[in-house]
Amino acid sequence: MPVISVHSDELLELSGADEVDLMEALPKLGIEIEEIKAEKWDLEIFPDRCDMLSVEGVARSVRGFLKKETGLIEYKTSASDLKTEVDLSVQEVRPYVVTALIKNLELNKRGLKSLMDLQEKLHLTLGRERVKVAIGMHDFEAIEPPIEYKAVKPEDVSFVPLERSVEMNLNEILNRHEKGKEYAHILKDEERYPVLIDSQDNVLSFPPIINGRLTEVTPDTTSFFIDMTGTDMRALEHTLNILCTALADRGAEICATEVRYGSRTIEYPDLSPDEIDVSLEESEEILGVEMSIDEMERTLKKMRYGVGREDSSLKVTIPPYRHDILHPWDVIEDIAIGYDFDNFDGVLPQEVTVGESLPQKDLREVLRELLVGNGFHEVMNYLLTDDEVEYGKMNITKPEEEKISKVKNPVSEQRYSLRTWLLPCLLSNLKHNKNESLPQKLFEIGDVVVEREQRTKIAGVIESSDVGFTEIKSILDGLFTNLGIEMVVEPKDHGSFIQGRCAGITESGTELGFLGEISPEVLDSFELENPVVGFELDFDTLCGLKKEIE
């Protein structure tokens, strides 16, 4: 979970609380006090409460919880004539942008550092390391509106980036600047890169990498232009609202801006609250506490909601910074927090039962014991992998794309699809341990996803200078004998194994898996110099078969 550092005197001032009140209120709001230093408090925030990733957000919640200021805060925007034109060229790269203009914001060095910290925490959480959302903050006085957002060829545009004193083109920034190296993967394989420029062709930002030095903010900056670019419009709008409302709590004036997509014009930020209906009856049923409608209204206002009545339900107004409220139950959870968990009475279970382990767990333990008894070491690998390891290096044909489950926004180029079998991971383990003494025996019982269906499999490998088909078959013979299952071995063709040295495993016509000697081509692809044998079984099928036999 994200951890923020706040200055204790600033938190005390903004919340209007003393230290004793804070020590009591913060844990009840789900904020863990990780460490208290001389001047700072380190606070651990739940990932879904991004609105509390700043001292302003924490103070806002504390004021409500301690009833120093309750109900919905109405955030208003002033008019401005600031416009941003979006060129169609960005649609294939980074299609969306939202903007805001902040005026009359006075920040000292500490306040500016707090603002930058909030920016980075939003990058980490809602922004998914800048993939979904990247935030740019600029000194508005250095900008000549209107602003244009477009994609350009990397060698055609140069500017002086932050932390540099000479011009660099976009390719040079990606290859030589620290931020460029860190986030270059986001723009991998793109022919054009996004930029924000003003009417004088000054580059304000090269998202999601870095801003230009021309608009660098300082403690003397009082007017800020905020741009956020990304691939998810809802995430952009939520992030902008969180940042703008935090600055508004600092006394800043929030000004509306326009973003134009051709003939379509959208005004940002949109700080109008949403509404959701919450049933009194449903709330009481879920919480197990009888509350009057007046008490529920007071509790919701304590959690900074607006409340209106409608028969036996409440029409709850959601603050614009609460991106985590998706369902009435989310509001009911806040009712529980506001009511205070200490006020809930404990209830004994109505039925007394004795727990027992699941058959799947028992079988796992049996298999572990048998394999460890044969000298194997258990490993646990990531569920995420990539096509090259799964298919290319294993010398097998890649299935159709729709049969492979892929992560929509992967954080790593090597972890973007869900594995369909275990042996590639075990061979990767052998590769990383090739300097260790032989023989090496590894096994894994782990999850895979085959055609969108999650299954559990068990696989093992042996690397040795003289290992062969007979050794791995004899180990499986003993394993099946101990399980009381008759194993039938039949010849099988498989691209990862030597021709004629691979067999399928069945029992009463049910296919369980396969075993054999790994082919030299596969061994070369994993940089392995000694023979390797391996097996893979479908654990779910094996478990069902064993249950039938019993």
Note the pLDDT tens digit of each residue in 131-168.
999 999 999 999 999 999 999 999 999 999 999 999 99
pLDDT of 306 strictly over 90: yes
pLDDT of 413 strictly over 80: no
Please give the mean pLDDT across all residues of the chain.
Answer: 92
Reported as a pLDDT band with limits 50, 70 and 90, residue 230 is very high
- Cβ–Cβ < 8 Å for 410, 416: yes
List, edge to edge, every strand of the sheet that includes 40-44: 3-7, 40-44, 32-36
Pick the closest to residue 442 from 422, 419, 466 (CA basis).
Answer: 422
Note the pLDDT of residue 334: 95
pLDDT digits (tens, 9 = 90+) for 9-68: 999 999 999 999 999 999 999 999 999 887 899 999 988 999 999 999 999 999 999 999
pLDDT digits (tens, 9 = 90+) for 69-110: 999 999 999 999 999 999 999 999 999 999 999 999 998 899
Classify domain 83-268 at the CATH class level.
alpha beta
CA angle 342, 344, 349 (to 5 degrees): 125
Give just the sign of the alpha carbon dihedral 395, 399, 404, 409. Answer: positive
pLDDT digits (tens, 9 = 90+) for 272-297: 999 999 999 999 999 988 888 899 99
Buried-exposed string 513-543: b where 16+ CB fall within 10 A, e elsewhere: bbbbbbbeebbebbebebbbbbbbbbbebbb
CATH of domain 359-549: 3.30.930.10
Note the pLDDT of residue 359: 86
CATH of domain 3-65: 3.30.56.10
Every domain of the chain and the residues it spans? 3-65, 83-268, 274-341, 359-549
Reported as a pLDDT band with limits 50, 70 and 90, residue 118 is very high
Reported as a pLDDT band with limits 50, 70 and 90, residue 365 is very high
In sequence order, what are the beta bridge partners of 362? Answer: none
Same-fold call for 3-65 versus 274-341: yes
Alpha carbon distance 280, 272 (integer Å): 25
More confident residue, 260 or 409: 260
pLDDT digits (tens, 9 = 90+) for 340-361: 988 888 777 788 888 888 888 9
pTM of the shown model: 0.70
Q: Does domain 274-341 have CATH number 3.40.1160.10?
A: no
Average pLDDT, integer, range 264-278:
95
